[in-house]
Structure 1
Amino acid sequence: MIQKSKKVITAGLLATLVGSYFMGVFAHAEITPKQSSAKEKLEAYLKFTQILNVIETQYVDEVNTTELVDKALKGLLNNLDAHSTFMDTKAYKDLSVQTKGEFGGLGVSIGMKDGALTVIAPINGTPADKAGLKAGDIILKIDDKATIGMDIDESVKLMRGKPGSDVTLTIIRQKETKPLEIKITRDIIKIQSVYVKSIDNNLLYLHIASFDQKVVDDVQKAIKEHNNTKGILLDLRNNPGGLLDQAVGLVDLFVDNGIIVSQKGRSSIENIEYKATKQDSDAKTPIVVLVNGGSASASEIVSGALQDFKRAIIVGEKTFGKGSVQVVMPVGMDEAVKLTVARYYLPSGRTIQAEGVTPDITVHLGKIEYIEDPMLLKEKELKKHLTNELEKINNGNNKNNKKVLTKSKENNETKADDSIITDTQLYEDAQLKSAVDILKALIITNKGK
């Protein structure tokens, strides 16, 4: 029996190699079918029962009726749209684990795009990310098994395995002339949803890898710890989505009034508006949001809402375009149906389904080459130039040192400070460098208000 009372609303749950998966294709209904009459419904049910009976009694091999019905349900739901699915016992259990931020697998969001098994986004810090998988990679083979004609379930099973064991993915990558083989060691995935760093001591960098149940709390904690922050940079690149309430809660931290997102479905029960509250809202600190083609679902709610409220500048590349809402409804004790029940709409009333969020400023991923003009004389090169205070303190060390170094109390060794983004790192990431420059400009602009 389906228990609607236990439904859990999600906005494109994190796509991983365990449990539920995020499928990067869209279903477009050309013609809205008319509702079936009572007679037509009865005839359809009878047809299904008759065919099932024929298979049970006449198929060449003996079949398990329960497995047969489960496969039929999966096919039924998968044909509705790209996100609806029937979840067996293992899939349902994995879903419950992954939204808590810890699960087994490779740590990658995958989907079917144009009939090919495609990487939506590797999750930061996971085996897939460390091995070098990138958004847009097409998976040709899993070990020695070709993925042509393979469904998502089968591919997920092949990529799962015992932590510590290896799997080799053969991929096609844009601009590469031949397929690449990437070896990945499976592991237990513990997702750190929010990565916190500082830039120039007064900019707070928050990289949100996924929207699990800890995001809002972690962001609030980071903001309180960095109370001298003059600007915030939200990095949502390659964030495949997660829990809707966390996306709404994140926007609510920076907006004090208005509808953050609304959802509309066939049933009036699904017509819901999520509104901002004034409590603990920071409506003034300048914000820049980084997005790309791997930013999907909950990430698009956050970036699109902040854009509509004119609360942030969106920088990067157009987002994925997943604008539907799924409800997970338990079937009995250990199975469930994940069903698309509504589309969501941003504050301006626009939908991002199959459209995505277009950045205010488009910047493509790349590296910035910084070369000083050798023909230009600098003040410090002049004979008897005035020595500045920093030169005195550092005894001639380069004040533009690219690495920020600290002394370890235990062994007095010098090491790089991982909590700070350096100039070198900025120049390695054109999108990040552009976002930082824009944020600094916003801070200057705000001073004049």
Structure 2
Amino acid sequence: MDVLTFEWAEDYSEIRCELEATGELIEGLHLRNLWDELGQLTKTQLDSSRPGKNVVGEFSAIGEAEESTDEVSGEILRRRVRYASDQKTVLQVDYFRSDGSLMVADRRDLDTKGTVGGRLVTLCGLDGYPVASWNQIWPLYLFWLDCVVADRESYMIVDSKSTANFMTRYRRDNVVTMHLVHNSHMASGAVPPHGELSQTRRYVFERLNSFDAVVFLTESQKRDVDLVFGNPPNACVIPNSRSLPGISKPELGHDPQLGVVLSSLTNRKRLDHSVSAIGRARTSGDLELKLSIYGQGPEKASLQKLITAQGLGESVELAGYSPSAREKFESASFTMLTSKLEGQGLVLIEAMSVGCIPIAYDVPYGPADIIDDGVDGFLVKAGEVSSMAEAIVELRTMEPSAIEKMRLQAVAKATTFNDAAVVDRWSAEMHAALDRKLRGILQGQKHQ
């Protein structure tokens, strides 16, 4: 399996080593990069590129006399960058092969030199002279994908919303394309299903039929998409999965006072609600409660200020990043999810798998697809800190036998998201996507 990336980096071999060291790049998984491999293409491959139609502008590399910055690695010139007068805004990037020949020239001030506007991307042959030019970067990406695939029958699973934009244009008879939608497609604060689309999702969602399959993580998100976009036949649901730990007694060993949250410290996660809910629960129920928040992010200072202001310094800790943070669920009684929106809420499954009770805002999308309220966790109205606090108090004051039963129910629910079950769903949907594609090809041939 190949993981394809399009972002420039000085040394992908170093990135590969780091991923191998952390166990993320395993045997059989290959990390490949556009800029690495463009420099290795043969003359035949380069000559197979198709120039754009009605291209505006003339090719010009950064001149030796022009003010620019050379990026050198191992005494080899990798890139030459020309900046605007502010020395920050990039106006042109020239990429070079290891032999010093010009590989790609990407000019971004085509309309008026010195000011961003108008783009000309030029692919050069082994001699450094142009073989194809386009007024967008996307055709270069698609050309490389053709080089990667060649004539092989392939599946491409696109899980980046930015990559999905240009993948709407990649239609090949031998390639099945599947777009995995990781998060909500709605604008922040929009009410589904008919609210405003996220600007970063709009282009793709107006072209969902450009993929052989569009994969959502939850039934609720697919349901909303069906309502707005007319039940697209290529839409399906495959949740995220987790390799679940085997714990003999997951209903035992939980500190009844302790809550653990794993989250980035960002505004979207609304961790101030989690902190305030603990404060309210302590006061209203006259209970001893503790909360440990694991994660990093820009909201750390404001959260610490809130903790201090509410007098929770002895009860709430910002524990920072920990590679073993997920193990903390094993001893915690509960976790909270207070996000504005989610793609699925995988952290809830991780907590439930070891008997840690989830208390989550009912936000789009995910929590309601995972939690049966009052059975294996609690769903509360989104944004209501008081309701979150009430759920914490309810859990804290439940009979021990009822809590143990809820923990076992949580574990049972988590097992439905195990790796084996989800792999089976991927297999089924990949076959279905191929069947849809083949039917479309045959229908197209009939109408020719």
TM-score by length of 1: 0.28
TM-score by length of 2: 0.28
Higher relative contact order (CA 8 A, sep 6+): 1
